Amino acid sequence: MPAPLRPAPRLAIVVPCYNEEEVFAYCQQELGALLYTMVQDQMVQPDSFLLFIDDGSRDTTWTQIKTACAEEICVQGLKLSRNEGHQSALLAGLATAAPQADAIVSIDADLQDDIHAIRRMVEAYRAGYDVVYGVRESRQSDTWFKRTSAEGFYRLMAAMGVRQVFNHADFRLLSQRAVEGLLRYTERNAYIRGLVPLVGFPSTEVRYARGVRTAGESKYPLHKMLALGMEGITSMTVTPLRLIAAGGLFICLLSLTATYYVLVRKFNGNTVAGWPSIILSIFFMGGVQMLSLGIIGEYIGKIYLETKQRPRFHVESFISQDEKAALLTPAHSEHQIEHDIPA
């Protein structure tokens, strides 16, 4: 006999925003319309809501969020005190939404991820899944370079033993207990895509086609993608350190072989002056040593940052709505709080 469906959840859709003034109105309109139809279809509770997180934007994003909060009962706003990065902003939104919601969906403000997949995510949640991954079945809207580099990164992470869903970014549904489990990982250098599989709980995938960005520019240029990749590798695996050890062992064995060859040549009287080979060897070993020190230094830097135990973020303003009234007096509904993710 199949397990009974969970009741319709109170759904929170969490949207990190950084300089999204060009796309915010479209994002709010589309997500608000989706939430309204889901309430009408009794898929989610009437007090479900959107939570926009302003990650220290320098444009009018926060002003637009405040206006949306004043006009729509289903909209909440969270403003971080400074730009902390996408992963920290997302964690701030999850930590804020978790006490209020049964299920939380995270999605980027550009809405390149298919918002209609959220309906299928909620259906999967009601069927008993605590984690529902949004997986891109097509990346044709991406450039060749971005598509190739992203897929190469996923394969590299898999080769290093990191559990990560292929072609999944940060579009997912988490149940309340899954979010609470995620927030127990208190490292400051968090890579959420790698942490969610560690939480466990029943999980499934929802596939969708990725669309094009409607307005504005991507907030993940090449240098940020490289930084995220480095964050993921050094936060989730020690394989690079083991590769250094393996490389060192290989070079030692190669050096012993070369030494044996040189000694044989010397005793046979076939010595040849070869300073070019010596210079090349010096440069080669110098490059290996510098690369090794750089990788080790990256890990030591992570240890340094973790030992400080600094908060991931501070919240400057939080605009919320209770179940009884909209923001009739926005000045009284916006309050200043300082918030750290619970341990």
Torsion sign, CA atoms 296, 161, 231, 337 = negative
Q: Are 316 and 336 in contact (CB under 8 A)?
A: yes
Taking the CA atoms of residue 197, residue 39, residue 37 and residue 104 in that order, the dihedral angle to the nearest 10 degrees is -20
Q: What is the pLDDT along the chain (343 residues), one digit of tens a residue?
A: 566 788 889 999 999 998 888 889 999 999 999 999 999 999 999 989 999 999 888 888 999 998 888 888 889 999 998 887 888 888 889 998 889 899 999 998 888 888 899 999 999 999 989 999 988 876 666 666 666 766 666 677 666 666 777 777 788 999 999 999 888 888 777 778 778 888 888 989 888 887 665 554 555 555 556 665 666 666 656 667 667 667 766 766 666 676 666 666 666 666 556 655 675 577 667 667 766 776 777 677 767 666 767 677 777 888 876 543 444 444 444 443 344 444 4
Of 171, 150, 153, 149, whose CA–CA distance to 162 is shortest?
153
